Chain A
Amino acid sequence: MDLIRLKSLKTDMEKCFRCSLCKMIPLPVVRHPEFTDACPASRLFHFHGYSGSGKQIMALSLLDGRIEPDEALARAVFTCTACGYCDVACKFIMDAERHRVNMVLREHLVDRGLSPPAHKKVRENLRTYGNPKGRPERTAGAWAEGLGLKVLPERKAEVLLFAGCVPSNDPQSAEVVRKLARLLLHAGVDLGILGDAEPGCGLPAYWMGDRDLFTKMASDAVSIFSKTNVRTIVAASGSCLGAFRSKYPEYARAPDVEVLHATEFLLRLISEGRLSLPRPVRARVTYQDPCYLGRQSEPYAKWEGVERTALGVMTYTDPPKPVSRGVKGVYEPPRQILRAIPGIEFNEMYRIREYSFCCGAGGGVPAAYPELARSAAQHRLTEARAVGGELLVTACAYCEAHFRRVQEDGGSQKQPEKMKVVDIIELVYEAAGLDG
């Protein structure tokens, strides 16, 4: 398999000078000594190779013919939650692609048959069932039973609610999407779903380095969306939004309609006066920025230009290459919603927004390296407790289910007490007074 895609990123790799800033949050925002680590992998495994920088250097070593793709390399590369923080960290100080190198390195290893065994199974499931877990316990549209929602494209609607794959296997997550649908109906939204024909967004294929599969799933999904003639797609889970907004345009093509996350759409309804939140919810909450709703949902910006030289050896791009620092993710809408709910006491954690700490659910890590997935979640729960949170709110089905499972399993490290984790939609539902 050729190395063309990796080679095209060589200049970026060479820009790493091992400052290790990608292991911690940006220095200006350091506030609490215990909550400064930002790379879950480097935090647990420590050797430099597990950090974002390590992956740049290993990719360079591969290109320079110093190492061969092997299982050790695969382990170092896939013990990474694909959270994209290292990219944000590095771009605080320089204009080099880090996340792209990480992902292309994965793709190269997959091409060489070096995917972790657990991932092979997941990819097979995606290929066969469109769902990473295999044949889903319930069909893709089962969550909507009894709601009387229009099923597209046979019928027409203005807004398509995209549920995502988690609800098919997770009743709690299915309940969240039901609540979202009820909220939208309550606000008078002309709503439709794809029912059992809803495709997978494909994000797990992206995480696991299966470029072809992800590209195919993305293209298929966009074609299905096109047939619905909706004006807006609302993604219930942050993970799907990241795929639609940032990865589809990079790997396939962007959906040709407006794509919003549930929090963005709910906030719109609130500000238009179509949804009100009169009922107090008494809770001290903190908020987990999901990676693929936050930094990894920054819209993909294609660059077309030339590289030139000036002042002897200075290189510059004309027009300047856009640097995506992850700051254009969805950060404000969930926060504005939390602030709009009466009775809520909202405290931020120490690592938020573009420098948020990953919960450990991404990158295919829970399937292949559960100890890493667990350690990240437990560390984040400790932080949530440290800011006095009694309720950890998130806006991504993957994060919510992962936090929940980690606390149920317990693992080797015992947590002091369980923390309740909820999707923000549940709070909106309660505040809107729809829970009876």
Chain B
Amino acid sequence: MLSSEEIRVLGDTVGPEWVCTDPCMMDTYSYYMNPEIVNQEGSLWLTRPEAVVMPANTREVSEVVRLCNRLNLMVKPISTGWSATAAASRDRVIVLDLKRMDRIIEIDVKNQIAVVEPYVKAIILQTILWKEGLNLHVVSCGGNHSPLASTTSAWGTGLDGPSMSYSGRNLLGVEWVLPTGDVLILGSAGEGAGWFTADGPGPSLRGIVRGYQGAFGSLGVFTKAALKLYQWDGPPEIEVGGCSPHYIIKDLPSNIGLFMLSFPDAKAMVEAGYRMGEAGINYADFRLPAFMCAIGSTDDNLDLKRIWETGLFQKIANYIMITAVIGYSPREFEWKMKAFRQILSEVGGVNLPINLPDNTRVPERLLKRIRRIVEFIDDPLKLLRKLPFLQDLISRLPINKRQRQKNLSELFWVMLRHANNTQGNFRPSQAMLTTMGTFDTWDLGIRQSDWIAQKKQEYIKKGLFLDDGGDLGCGGTFEQGHMGYLEGITLYSSKDPRSVEAAGKVVEEAVQACIDEAFGIPIAGFGQEMNAKLGPHCGDYHKWMKRIKEALDPNLAVDPFFYVDPGKKTDEDDSQGG
């Protein structure tokens, strides 16, 4: 517990109303997604911070950090707070909630740069940028996340990867309150030359700031970040009708195509990803596994169960990729569509008509019939695959305009506006975790997702994970197909301790497989224990992290949660002499 004197000095710094120590409030900063896997005893609660402090500007952040150095306290920064990595890990940690720092400092349209504070949400920035013909990369947890947090500190994958890569690639500089409280501006902005590069002429520490996955708030507080922006050829804004849960876009501009593609196998899907990337056709893409397609096409779990049990999705939706194509001009769009069709027909992909009736509320009788038919047909899409003109023909049939608009809207929200969040995936079992997934090549992603799909089967058979068929590999390509990733998702139950235990186990097994099978550093491979496991196979990066932390944070004034605690030894440290 903080002493009243400590509370007073914090209050003097930020204003007493912006310091909170009430246990009830503190608990709202110790509850996040998936804590039961992080916590050994399976508890839903992470450490309760000593206080939550809300600074209004960089000066206040710096002063609070200096105070922490003096008072033997630690800070833990939080921006929009999606991630459990924003929690405190131990006693005497003060959470710095940056919600009041929500200013867009600058949008440089000509040079395609935005400078933002921590609580600027992606969707707000995007709303402004679209009007300027610009766009930013948004991660797929949804448009209300903090681009600053993602770009400087945590992972960074999203559906617009083909055109805007992942967050780490888009950092053009930061204003950084170091663990000592000093303020450092990195890159060209540090020399007063504008925010156009993070790599000089001022100091360049971009690799240290972020590294591969991010430092998760353990290296100080970023108070401003400059983000790289990209060209946007879509509409400045979009008219919306409908109501929750289905908001419907009125018109899709003619230079945008949104597609749901089905491939006969993984090889064809990978090939399509590479080729579309090379040709610069896909603006955004995402591989949706069959079970997720089924979730997306139903509004409740009873319908999900019924539709899944027909086996239809398992036959037509095993290798689905949603794709957005945008043309700068009608001619460019025409060219892209031509190339798109050609690639599709060469790899055997089908552009699924999205104007067919919805799956929800299908009468039981019809479902039974579908089940019987599906049993006898191996490839229900064979005809469409053989005769591509049929795909176009059916798509154009004015059979169900409402349905078509609804599906187009969903694709628009997911791929371009990042407005339909991943939460739908929590509906079936209330808990979801991710394991594999590396910023690497697209077909490595497939190998990872195959591995995890097989591994999950052991647990599915025991009734510990949701029987989604195993393969919940989700992800897409980055940077014109040069890179890609597929996360291995698992749906488990946070209410069943055995299921939670299995979830923890599968994460560990996945990380071990990354070492054994040379799969690269997985998305779940973060935090001290994991880094110590993976580091020896990857240039001993964990030792460098430790040195960085020691050098930047001599008094341990910033919570080292999910990064490295210089004072803590892991088993691997001992065995590797680290």
Contact = CB atoms under 8 A, between A and B. Distances in A.
A47 B124 contact: no
Interface in B456-494: 460, 463-468, 491-494
Interface centre among B427, B466, B491 (most CB of A within 10 A): B427
B24 A67 contact: yes
Interface string A317-332: 1111101011100000
Given A93-B421, A316-B302, A21 B25 contact: no
Interface string B33-75: 1100000000011001000101000000000000000000000
A311 B303 CA distance: 13
Given A33-B128, A93-B421, A312-B464, A27 B492 contact: no
> Chain B contact residues: over half helix, strand or loop, or mixed?
loop
B545 to A, nearest CB: 27
B24 A58 contact: yes
B31 A18 contact: yes
A14 B44 contact: yes
B467 A93 contact: no
B24 A72 contact: yes
B411 interface: no
A21 B243 CA distance: 16
Given A54-B28, A311-B305, A325 B144 contact: no
Contacts of B493: 313
Given A18-B32, A29-B247, A314 B144 contact: no
A315 B237 contact: no
A92 B245 contact: yes
Contacts of B186: none
B276 interface: no
A414 B247 CA distance: 36
A26 interface: yes
B423 interface: yes
A312 to B, nearest CB: 5
B244 interface: yes
Interface in A365-395: none
B144 A31 contact: no
Given A29-B247, A314-B301, A61 B466 contact: no
A53 interface: yes
B95 to A, nearest CB: 10
Contacts of B426: 15, 17, 94
Contacts of A93: 245, 420-421, 423-424
Contact of B429 (A28, A67, A314, A355): A314
A28 B305 contact: no
A27 B127 contact: no
Contacts of A317: 300-302
B315 interface: no
Contact of A24 (B144, B460, B492): B144
Contacts of B468: 311
Interface in A1-48: 11, 14-21, 23-24, 26-33, 36, 46-48
A333 interface: no
A122 to B, nearest CB: 24
A314 B413 CA distance: 26
A241 interface: no
Contacts of A67: 23-24, 27
A389 B533 CA distance: 62
Contact of A48 (B29, B127, B421, B492): B29
B22 A76 contact: yes
A26 B247 contact: yes
Contacts of A72: 22-25
B23 A316 contact: no
Most buried by B among A14, A92, A310, A313: A313
B31 A49 contact: no
A91 interface: yes
Of the four ranges (under 10, 10 to 19, 20 to 34, 35 or more), the interface on chain A belongs to 35 or more
Contacts of B418: 27
B460 A27 contact: no
B24 A76 contact: yes
B410 to A, nearest CB: 10
Contacts of A315: 301, 428-430
B100 interface: yes
A23 B421 CA distance: 15
Contacts of A91: 244-245
Contact of B24 (A19, A49, A92): A49
Given A58-B24, A311-B428, A19 B82 contact: yes
A17 B409 CA distance: 25
Chain B interface size, as a band, is 35 or more
For A26, A47, A60, the residue with the greatest tally of chain B CB atoms inside 10 Å of its CB is A47
A314 B28 contact: no
A18 B82 contact: yes
Interface string B300-339: 1111110010000000000000000000000000000000
Interface centre among A58, A93, A325, A326 (most CB of B within 10 A): A93
B45 A312 contact: no
Interface in A114-157: none
B27 A27 contact: no
A308 B202 CA distance: 61
A124 B28 CA distance: 33
A165 interface: no
A227 interface: no
Given A46-B100, A325-B245, A21 B460 contact: no
A58 B28 contact: yes
Contacts of A19: 82, 141-142, 144, 421, 423
B198 interface: no
B24 A313 contact: no
Contact of B304 (A11, A14, A32, A316): A316
A316 B28 CA distance: 28
B33 A18 contact: yes
B324 to A, nearest CB: 16
B43 to A, nearest CB: 9
B25 A76 contact: yes
Given A72-B23, A354-B243, A312 B427 contact: no
Contact of B97 (A36, A47, A73): A47
Contacts of A95: 300, 427
Contact of B302 (A18, A20, A47, A319): A319
A64 interface: yes
Contact of B244 (A24, A26, A314): A26
A53 B243 contact: no
B351 to A, nearest CB: 24
Nearest to A66: B27
A315 B33 CA distance: 19
A63 B493 CA distance: 20
Given A30-B127, A33-B128, A311-B467, A49 B28 contact: yes
B419 interface: yes
The 8 closest A-B pairs by CB, nearest first: A316-B301, A27-B419, A17-B33, A72-B22, A28-B247, A313-B493, A93-B423, A320-B300
22 contacts: A15-B430, A16-B31, A19-B142, A20-B80, A27-B417, A29-B247, A46-B54, A48-B28, A53-B28, A54-B25, A60-B31, A61-B24, A64-B45, A70-B24, A92-B245, A93-B424, A94-B426, A311-B468, A312-B460, A313-B466, A313-B499, A317-B300
